[in-house]
């Protein structure tokens, strides 16, 4: 089979690779129906994280089950499945608490930009749809496996409640899905922070009520203007830099909450500042598995359409162009089809 391999910053190639096999009895192998490039893939691509030796890339996927190990009983060959970037056995103490992305047997997916993928912990990770979905549903189901699940978690971690005011910091795919989540969870006012016309437009379409184009302390001041001077009830931090975290914390009212889902890069939070802010803070890799059943249902019933975040669709063998377009911000998110 073939798949994407990163060799160094800016250098992603589509290469021949060994076919994946069932190794553990809890494994499955799927034939990829769609995969994509994640904002977090850009960290090594931009040289902001070490690349190390050349290695496969990709952690988002939907596909058709090809083969399962002897202990995988929940899904069977031929089914269309959605998974998560973090695999989980769904039986350990953390999974039972609803924190499958802290599963004691967790493995992070990392080989999904390929024709076929081995899924560890398939028994606890994959959720099958009743039927093969229509082609137009595939992008939204793919989004559920990562960006929509992550936006959903950001809104839950920020404790978005009916009637509340939510701010979304970051207008990438996760931030835009965060707008969908805030809307679904009943936020009355949703302030999207974005400087890009096309992303502003999509945020409004997804349910944002206000756009703030300013950044940093100027952006914070605008949010305060819109929230009676005290800040928002809930802020979704969907970037992961020191600046975006500061912007998020300063935009939250005393007693409000920040949900942070951008993997923090060189972010240190001052204990005393957090203390006096009265802001609650929770982040992490989203426990997408917890949300899969109801997010899949919301997609298949047409209630949400997060697949709109894919504004570029490419054949999988053009994966390098997908990275390039996202790096140059010509695309929000690139979908790849084998």
Does 270 bind a second copy (CB under 8 A)? Our answer is: yes
Does 101 bind a second copy (CB under 8 A)? Our answer is: yes
H helices of 74-233, in order, are 93-96, 122-125, 138-144, 147-157, 173-184, 197-206, 216-226
Choosing from 130, 275, 302, 328, the residue that interacts with a second copy (CB under 8 A) is 275
Q: For Cα atoms 226, 244, 84, give the angle at the middle one, nearest 5 degrees.
A: 110
Residue 113 CA to residue 338 CA, distance in Å, equals 9
Yes or no: say if 263 and 286 are a contact pair by the CB < 8 Å rule: no
Q: Which is nearer to a second copy, 126 or 279 (CB)?
A: 279
Choosing from 97, 110, 198, 201, the residue that interacts with a second copy (CB under 8 A) is 97
Beta-strand relationship, 232-237 and 165-169: parallel
CB of 230 to a second copy, least distance (A): 5
| Count of positions on this chain that bind a second copy (CB under 8 A) | 42
Q: How many residues does the chain have?
A: 338
- Which tokens belong to 40? 């977090």
Does 93 bind a second copy (CB under 8 A)? Our answer is: yes
Applying the rule CB under 8 A, the residues between 102 and 161 that interact with a second copy are 102, 104, 157
Choosing from 167, 211, 238, 267, the residue that interacts with a second copy (CB under 8 A) is 267
CB of 71 to a second copy, least distance (A): 23
Q: Which is nearer to a second copy, 56 or 284 (CB)?
A: 284
Q: Is 289 helix (H, G, I), strand (E, B) or coil?
A: helix
CB of 247 to a second copy, least distance (A): 14
Q: Which stretch binds a second copy (CB under 8 A): 77-85, 109-117, 173-181, 250-258?
A: 250-258
- Which of 60, 77, 59 has the alpha carbon at shortest distance from 68? 77
Backbone CA torsion sign across 47, 52, 55, 58:
negative
- State the DSSP string of 308-333: GG--EEEEGGGHHHHHHHHHTTS-S-
Residue 60 CA to residue 78 CA, distance in Å, equals 19
Choosing from 17, 284, 311, 317, the residue that interacts with a second copy (CB under 8 A) is 284
- Which tokens belong to 309? 């975040």
Choosing from 99, 116, 152, 310, the residue that interacts with a second copy (CB under 8 A) is 99
Choosing from 51, 128, 263, 300, the residue that interacts with a second copy (CB under 8 A) is 263
Applying the rule CB under 8 A, the residues between 158 and 217 that interact with a second copy are none
**Ramachandran assignment for 330, one of left (phi > 0), alpha (psi -120 to 50 degrees), beta (any other):** alpha
Q: Which stretch binds a second copy (CB under 8 A): 35-43, 162-170, 180-188, 240-248?
A: 240-248
What would you measure as the largest C-alpha separation in the chain, in angstroms?
Answer: 59
Does 245 bind a second copy (CB under 8 A)? Our answer is: yes
CB of 104 to a second copy, least distance (A): 8
Choosing from 253, 289, 298, 333, the residue that interacts with a second copy (CB under 8 A) is 253
**Site residues, a second copy (CB under 8 A):** 93-94, 97-99, 101-102, 104, 157, 228-230, 240, 242, 245, 253-255, 260, 263-272, 274-285, 287
């Amino acid at each position: 089979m073939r798949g994407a391999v990163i060799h160094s910053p800016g250098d992603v190639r589509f290469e021949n690779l060994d076919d994946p096999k069932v190794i553990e009895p809890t494994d499955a192998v799927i034939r990829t129906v769609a995969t994509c490039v994640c904002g977090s893939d850009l960290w090594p691509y931009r040289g902001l994280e070490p690349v190390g030796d050349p290695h496969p890339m990709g952690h988002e996927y939907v596909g058709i089950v090809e083969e399962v190990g002897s202990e995988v009983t929940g899904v069977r060959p031929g089914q269309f499945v959605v998974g998560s970037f973090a695999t989980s056995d769904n039986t350990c103490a953390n999974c039972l608490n609803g924190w499958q992305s802290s599963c004691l047997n967790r493995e992070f997916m990392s080989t999904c930009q390929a024709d076929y993928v081995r899924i560890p912990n398939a028994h606890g990770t994959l959720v099958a749809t009743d039927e093969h979905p229509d082609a137009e549903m595939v992008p939204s189901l793919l989004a559920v496996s990562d960006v929509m699940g992550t936006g959903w978690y950001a809104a839950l971690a920020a404790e978005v409640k009916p009637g509340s005011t939510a701010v979304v910091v970051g207008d990438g795919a996760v931030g835009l899905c965060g707008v969908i989540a805030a809307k679904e969870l009943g936020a009355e006012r949703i302030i999207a922070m974005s400087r890009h016309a096309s992303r502003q437009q999509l945020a409004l379409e997804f349910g944002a009520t206000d756009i703030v184009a300013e950044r940093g302390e100027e952006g914070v001041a605008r949010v305060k203007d819109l929230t009676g001077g005290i800040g928002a009830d809930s802020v979704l931090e969907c970037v992961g830099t020191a600046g975006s975290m500061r912007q998020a914390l300063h935009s939250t009212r005393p007693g409000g909450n920040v949900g942070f889902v951008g993997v923090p890069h060189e972010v240190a939070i001052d204990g005393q500042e957090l203390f006096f802010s009265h802001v609650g803070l929770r982040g992490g890799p989203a426990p997408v598995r917890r949300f899969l059943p109801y997010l899949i249902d919301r997609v298949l019933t047409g209630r949400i359409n997060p697949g709109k975040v894919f504004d570029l669709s490419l054949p999988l063998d053009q994966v390098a162009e997908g990275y390039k377009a996202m790096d140059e911000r010509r695309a929000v998110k690139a979908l790849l089809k084998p």
